[in-house]
Amino acid sequence: MKRLAGKTALVTGSSRGIGRATALRLAREGATVAVHYADNADAAKATLAAIEEEGGRAFLVRAELGVPGDVDTLFQGLTAGLREATGKEELNILVNNAGVMGGVKPEDLTPEIFDRLIAVNAKAPLFLTQRVLSIMPDGGRIINIGTGLLRYANPDEVAYSMSKGALDQISLHFARLLGPRNITVNTVSPGITNNGSPIFDVPEAREFMANMNAFKRIAEPEDVGDVVAFLASDDARWITGTFVDASGGTLLGG
Q: Which positions are annotated as active-site residues?
A: 160
Residue 80: HSE in the Cβ half-sphere, 13 Å Cα cutoff: 9
* Whole-angstrom distance, CA of residue 34 vs CA of residue 228: 15
* Rounded-to-integer distance, Cα 249 and Cα 239, Å: 20
Q: What sign does the dihedral 54-56-62-68 (CA atoms) show?
A: negative
Give the 3-state secondary structure of residue 75. helix
The DSSP letter of residue 211 is: T
Return the closest-CA partner of residue 191 out of 165, 217, 171.
Answer: 217
CA distance 126 to 120: 10
Beta bridge partners of 60: 35
Going by C-alpha positions, the residue among 88, 23, 95, 90 that lies closest to residue 59 is 23
Q: What is the identity of the amino acid at 76?
A: Q
Alpha-helical segments (H) within the chain:
17-28, 41-53, 70-86, 111-118, 124-132, 158-178, 203-210, 221-232
* Amino acid present at 23: A
